[in-house]
Amino acid sequence: MIRQPDLQPSDPSYETGGGPGGKPVGIRAARIRLALRGLRESWSIFVESKIGVIGLAVIAVFALMAISHPVLMATIWDEATYDPVTGYAFDQTEQPAPPSWKHPLGTDPLGRDVLSQLLSSTSSEFILGIVAAVVTVTIATTIGAVAAYYGGIADTLIMRLADLVVSLPSLSLLIVLSALFELNLFMLAILIGVLGGFGGSAIIFKSQALGVTVKPYIEAARVAGGGRFHIILVHIIPNLLPLSFLYMMFAVTGAIFSEAILSYLGLLNIRMSWGIMIHTANTAGYLLGGAKYWWLIVPAGASITLLCSTFYLVGRALDEVANPRLRRR
């Protein structure tokens, strides 16, 4: 190469900027520093919105609840009395029993400890919500980006499929499917995720991706010789990620609600969940009993409402991180 002029070799260490403390570091360390700095900045914006912090605190409480169940079972709770499915409170003469020192949230009509049921269900609600959300967002981001960049037939097919999924009443569809097949928690999560991913969110991700595909940096990547795969993976999808995180939060909410309704209708092959707790109270005839048997309904119902709204709040706070225009200044 004759045309390359003589140049001084560049310094082997790199600064990442961001203040006077930027010491020279190596290439991999530089990337790690950048990622950490990005996280720090996002975090400082996130904590400014009170709803986000409150939401995160509530999620942390639920996470503690999920962890506490196996711990309690291993230490102070014996399996015969406290197992959420097979246990029986022999110390109570009448079932369901109101709250007492031994059973802080009372027992259900089948003599099982309500607190134990509540705590043991928490982890499955988390798993369900997060699996469904990850599936939804992965599908929606990928097909949204593909539809937007490829256009033409791929776009038409994906969008017509999305129209079809949106026009189906998804809850009724879930009810029919769960009546036909014995769905377990994991299958349900995938199903909810697939329905969400090919439906409404695909349309939203595609329109967002369309905004990215017209940017000059996409043309710059093409002039550089970048293929479709490179452009979608390196340029389009990373610019959809903020939206993806946001949608994950909202998808968690939707998944937990769907599960609660299906369990309440007794359609799922799940041993225990908040929906099943309400279902049990209902089939035993206590749901219409009013406030007298509140401990059969309130803990599970409140948990469903609280966890769902919390993920929604965290989503709203993340929205402010991702969209600078929503910030107050």
Partner 1 sequence: MMTASNAPNNPLGGGHSTALVRVERLTKLFPVTRGLFRPPSAHVHAVDDVSFELFEGESFGLVGESGCGKTTIGKLLVKLMEPTGGRILFRDSGEPSPAIDGGFRDIVDTKGKGLKEFRRRAQMIFQDPYESMNPRRTIFDTVAEPLVVQGIGDSLERLERVGKLLELVGLSPASTMLFRYPHELSGGQRQRVAIARALVIEPTFVVADEPTSMLDMSFSTTIMNLMSGLARQLGVTYLYITHDLAVARYMCQRIAVMYLGKIVELAETEELLSNPLHPYTRALLSAVPSPDPASKREPVDILGDVSTPVNPHPRCRFHDRCPMAVQQCYDDPHPPMEDHGGGHLVACYRA
| Least CB distance to partner 1 at residue 113 (A) | 50
Site for partner 1 in 74-93 (CB under 8 A): none
Q: How far apart are CA 51 and CA 39, in angstroms?
A: 19
Instruction: Count interface residues toward partner 1 (CB under 8 A).
Output: 40
Q: Select the span of 69-77, 225-233, 249-257, 266-274 touching partner 1 (CB under 8 A).
A: 225-233
Q: Which of 70, 104, 151, 227 binds partner 1 (CB under 8 A)?
A: 227
Residue 25: φ, ψ to 5°:
-140, 170
Which of 50, 215 has the CB closer to partner 1?
Answer: 215
Q: Judged by CB under 8 A, does residue 31 bind partner 1?
A: yes
Contact 314, 55 (CB under 8 A): yes
Per CB under 8 A, does 7 bind partner 1? yes
Which string of DSSP letters, residue by residue, matches 182-250?
A: ---HHHHHHHHHHHHHHTHHHHHHHHHHHHHHTSHHHHHHHHHT--HHHIIIIIIHHHHHHHHHHHHHH
Per-position x/- string for 182-221, each x denoting binding to partner 1 as judged by CB under 8 A, each - no binding: ---------------------------------xxx-xxx
Taking residues 34 to 63 in sequence order and writing x for each that binds partner 1 by CB under 8 A, - otherwise, the string is: x-----------------------------
The residue count of the chain comes to: 329
| CB atoms closer than 10 angstroms to residue 180 | 9
Long-range CB contacts (within 8 A, 24+) of 151-157:
155/206
Q: Which long-range contacts (CB under 8 A, 24 or more apart) does 230-234 make?
A: 231/149, 232/145, 232/146, 232/149
Query: Least CB distance from residue 242 to partner 1, whole Å?
Result: 10
Residues that bind partner 1 (CB under 8 A): 1-5, 7-17, 22, 24, 27, 30-31, 33-34, 215-217, 219-227, 230, 234-235, 238-239
